[in-house]
Structure 1
Amino acid sequence: MSKPILWIVIPCYNEEKVLPITAPMFLQKIKTLAEKEMVSDKSRVLFVNDGSKDATWELICKFAQEDEHFIGISQSRNRGHQNAVLAGLMEAKENGCDITISIDCDGQDDIDAMDEMVQKYLDGAEVVYGVRSRRDTDTFFKRFTAEGFYHLMNALGADIVFNHADYRLISARVLESFADYKEVNIFLRGMVPLVGFPSATVSYERHERLAGESHYPLSKMLALAFDGITSLSNKPIRLITGAGIIVSLISFIGVIWAIVQAAMGSVVAGWASTVCIVCFMGGVQLICLGVIGEYIGKIYMETKARPRYIISERTWAPYERKYHG
């Protein structure tokens, strides 16, 4: 069996502070894996510039000039973390790599876990998920909300791996099949398991960010969670239907009760109870309309079929072509 060509896919957005620290680490990992004869020396570190506003792209170009193992692509504008990862994966597929490992560039994910990931691939796994072994570095609030998110996703019918983000190995065979998934609204950690194929997990400890600031505040995390739920499952709409039936039955019972009370002449006029019921029902209806509207909005975006990413530059062929995906 020939040694597989590995591409490490690293999305970057305004990472000029951390790249000089982590780029040598990724390069050393590629070389170490090659020395162990686990991967080919033709393996590469692919940086995906996601429309950064700082010197991130200039740094990527500099790395590429200094060492052939570094390559980079730049998107025409910022399109979000998930689209940046997808762009890198599809770029790797188009250029004949055998396996990819996607990882963030901030140094939080344990780079040494790649050795075990590659070994799992050599043993027959087509997808290897990096799973956090513990969350000691997280605050209680972040740990509670993150773990609650995974439980909620699975309860709503989305098949995702617990405590797995976007640190994973994917074989070229899986990427070929994954390329047929044409959704505009993408949530990779929920979509990759849908492809199937033999999979495995590798546990690792997540560290503190080495430099720079996180680009995923609470608002973005909540938005990602909501996108994931509505992109992978229609169970919320079914729950709304069930809740509507229950509320309708309760309302019907209330109407009967009101008629009986009126017939018995024991009706007492009261505006407070009326206001409470109206406000409650109004709130429920607005929430239901909001969830349904979210699905309609996603349908609207899917029908447009806009490109999920546009590559405007490459370090090995700058300014020569554009690639849409």
Structure 2
Amino acid sequence: MHPELSVVIPMYDEEQVLPLLVERLRPVLDGVDASYEVVAVDDGSRDQTPVLLQRFRREWPELRVLRLRANAGHQAAISAGLSAARGDWVVTLDADLQDPPEVIAEMMAAARTGGVDVVYGIRTDRRTDSVFKRVSAKGFYAGMRAAGATDLPTNAGDFRLMSRATVDAVNALPEHHRVLRLVIPSLGFPSASVGYRREARAAGGSKYPIGKMIRLSVDSLTGFSLAPLRLATWFGLGGFLAAVGLLLYALVAKLTNITVAGWTSTVVIVASVGAVQLLCLGILGEYVGRIYSTLQRRPTYYVAYDSLSAAEEPAQPAPQHRD
């Protein structure tokens, strides 16, 4: 059966929150006036998440389990779910219940009445997040807008509803290490938004430590904007002008017999120029690394198991033995 709605949920070591997620999500989807499937993407979990998913699948026919061979990361897991989803509408939702599943019905209503392709979930109240989380998120959105992502909705994470046309457009992109919260707004499809209060994590611990947050920010910046490369160009131009100024100063000092005292100024100048050069090389290295990764064309994830494919496989006949 072709479902009208697919809900893609990336999961990594979510055994504590998984029963709570099923308890809240299933009544919501059963109450939506649409056939549906839930694509649970197990991103290489090391705990009992795969066991629990198989257990819930026996009681919930609409639950579909997609297991990756190894941990590929949050964005790659969502991409795997988008590639597998069959619905006319696709919702991406995290498993931690910080984004309430009850908003899905509002998203469906907004999409149907507004004739839009994308409905973003906007976090209008983030008091349950830590101060560091709120400040860093504000800085991320401000920085990306300054770099050129003017269509990026404020406080919109990965909780959204997309039409089949949007999902097909995303799946057709050849980009590796894509950040979907930037890619989808850049498509320019008609969109709407639904506000909600962000809740505290229902159970378990965060899967986004500071290292992954920094990596996501770097991928967002280098994968979407050329501003860092232009910044390196401006640094180079500034260094050239500074060098010309120092040359003129040295010539004037030579002609007027003014001696330049001390080595401190020399060390400061050399260190400053070296720091700018290293920064520019680092920026260039990030872009060259992305080009190299794209040319390699290595998949960002590998699917080990899909319960839908396993259920559709015909049963093998028993071997016949002749006396």
Letter in 2 for 1:87: A
Scaled by the length of structure 2, the TM-score of the pair is 0.92
Q: Based on CA coordinates, which of the two structures has the bigger radius of gyration? A: 2
2:252 alignment partner in structure 1: 260
Q: Tell me if 1:60 matches 2:59.
A: no
Q: Is the 8 A contact 1:9 1:103 kept in 2?
A: yes
1:278 alignment partner in structure 2: 270
Rounded to whole Å, the distance in 1 between the matches of 2:175 and 2:132 is 32
1:11 alignment partner in structure 2: 10
Q: Tell me if 1:91 matches 2:81.
A: no
Q: Is the 8 A contact 1:12 1:105 kept in 2?
A: yes
Q: Tell me if 1:20 matches 2:19.
A: yes
Within 5 Å, which residues of 2 pair with 1:66-85? 66-85=59-78
Rounded to whole Å, the distance in 2 between the matches of 1:85 and 1:183 is 14
Equivalent of residue 304 in structure 2, options 295, 303, 312 = 312
Unaligned runs of 5+ in 2: 314-323
Equivalent of residue 103 in structure 2, options 113, 120, 127 = 113
Is the deviation greater in 129-138 or in 76-85? 129-138
Is the deviation greater in 110-119 or in 223-232? 110-119
Rounded to whole Å, the distance in 2 between the matches of 1:71 and 1:254 is 67
Instruction: Assess, with a 3 A threshold, how the Cα gap between structure 1 residues 14 and 197 changes in structure 2: closer, same or farther.
Output: same
Shift of 1:320: 8.9
Instruction: Assess, with a 3 A threshold, how the Cα gap between structure 1 residues 180 and 317 changes in structure 2: closer, same or farther.
Output: closer
Shift of 1:309: 2.1
Give the secondary-structure state (helix, strand or coil) at the position aligned to 1:57: helix
Rounded to whole Å, the distance in 2 between the matches of 1:302 and 1:98 is 30
Within 5 Å, which residues of 2 pair with 1:233-248? 233-248=225-240
1:160 alignment partner in structure 2: 152
Q: Is the 8 A contact 1:128 1:170 kept in 2?
A: yes
Percent identity at matched positions? Answer: 39
Instruction: Assess, with a 3 A threshold, how the Cα gap between structure 1 residues 76 and 262 changes in structure 2: closer, same or farther.
Output: same
Rounded to whole Å, the distance in 2 between the matches of 1:142 and 1:112 is 24
* Root mean square deviation of aligned Cα: 1.7
Rounded to whole Å, the distance in 2 between the matches of 1:220 and 1:312 is 24
Shift of 1:249: 0.9
Shift of 1:66: 1.1
Letter in 2 for 1:67: W
Give the secondary-structure state (helix, strand or coil) at the position aligned to 1:104: coil
Q: Is the 8 A contact 2:118 2:163 kept in 1?
A: yes
